[in-house]
Amino acid sequence: MPARLLRRSLGLLAAGAASVLLAGPGAAQQGGEVHVYSSRHYDTDRELYDAFTRETGIRVRLIEGDADQLIQRIRSEGANSPADVLITVDAARLARAKEAGILQPVRSPVLDSRVPASLRDPEGYWFGVSKRARVIMYDRQKGLPEGLARYEDLADPRFRGMVCIRAAAHPYNTSLAGSILAANGPEATEAWARGVVANMARPPQGGDRDQFRAIPAGQCGIAVSNTYYLAQMAVSQRAEDRAVAERIGVLFPNQGAGDRGAHVNISGAGVVRTAPNAAAAQRFLEYLTGPRAQELFAVGNMEYPVVDDAPLHPALAAFGAFREDGLNAARYAANAAQALQIMQRAGWR
């Protein structure tokens, strides 16, 4: 039975998480196991785990749940935790796991050679395995608004009543603001946040897809969203989703000469401090940065790979090439709490 068809087959466990044994067709009968706690919920990830088992004979036991719940669960389980690997979305959550003391540093020439320094913890506690660019979107029928080229431009008064963006507290936004804080300092970041609030077309609401859906609906003229949401809608089986995607243009911000580049966030993984199967866990992390896994991240789930030569899905490649901000993910993650305070002080709810 393919692993992607196994849905919570062992029932619900603590914190609302689901445990699933992923063996994969043709899996070896021996080779050990690795317990993966993941806040990612994609069928393509299950294909990753199946392929790992076929390649290594190491079985994957999966626990799925909310990132904060999984971090707390590992802390509560203590030395008796079966967790070997934590996978989650957003560098701030990975930093939170490190601060909670539940991860251990990994020394791996393989990971160091494959994962750029900006996409991994400087001390080796976690490593990015895929990327999402956070971009500005607009109505292609109306064209790119004049004067819009940088994240900072979202605060320009000429865009009053035009901006749709989700809540301040969402990690996607705290990480973006954390990168702006690193680039411009707290005073400029607060002025930027106040300008964005003044330019909002509506109070923050919904997810990333809801932001750019509001453009053809006439509710806003500019949206901030991650690229992979739009790419997924571009290949949706729903005609109405494809129609929305066709209306949306993508601007990679801060691409000018000498500018810092577009902000990217990551999905990442780390080895749990008390991992019973630490060697298998490290091998699993190395596998996630290998050719097969990187192709599945990029082609299967519309995320950018961390390895430069991995293929992209045509829908993602259609957005064009861009230069990304080289700020280490740990830096903007460390700024996330202060960035949130600044945004909330500016009236961003």
pLDDT tens-digit series, residues 185-222: 999 999 999 999 999 999 999 999 999 999 999 999 99
Instruction: Specify whether 124 is located in the same domain as 155.
Output: no
Q: How many domains does the chain have?
A: 2
pLDDT band of 44, cuts 50, 70, 90 = confident
Return the structure tokens found at 18. 């689901």
Instruction: Specify whether 12 is located in the same domain as 88.
Output: yes
Write the CATH number for 166: 3.40.190.10
pLDDT reported for residue 42? 85
How far, in Å, CA of 52 to CA of 45, rounded? 11
What are φ and ψ of residue 129, in 5° steps?
Answer: -120, -15
What are φ and ψ of residue 206, in 5° steps?
Answer: 75, -170
How far, in Å, CA of 333 to CA of 284, rounded? 24
pLDDT band of 225, cuts 50, 70, 90 = very high
pLDDT reported for residue 11? 32
The answer to whether 169 and 323 have CB atoms below 8 angstroms apart is no
- Closest to 114 in 3D by CA, of 289, 299, 294: 289
Q: How many residues does the chain have?
A: 349
Instruction: Specify whether 26 is located in the same domain as 47.
Output: yes
Return the structure tokens found at 281. 């866990």
How far, in Å, CA of 80 to CA of 74, rounded? 9
pLDDT tens-digit series, residues 336-347: 999 999 999 999
> Which domain does 30 fall in, by range?
3-131+265-313
Instruction: Specify whether 216 is located in the same domain as 303.
Output: no
pLDDT reported for residue 295? 92
pLDDT at 326 over 90: yes
pLDDT reported for residue 9? 31
Instruction: Specify whether 150 is located in the same domain as 171.
Output: yes
pLDDT at 305 over 70: yes
pLDDT (average), residues 99-107 = 97
The answer to whether 69 and 257 have CB atoms below 8 angstroms apart is no
Instruction: Specify whether 80 is located in the same domain as 222.
Output: no
Instruction: Specify whether 145 is located in the same domain as 257.
Output: yes
pLDDT reported for residue 31? 67
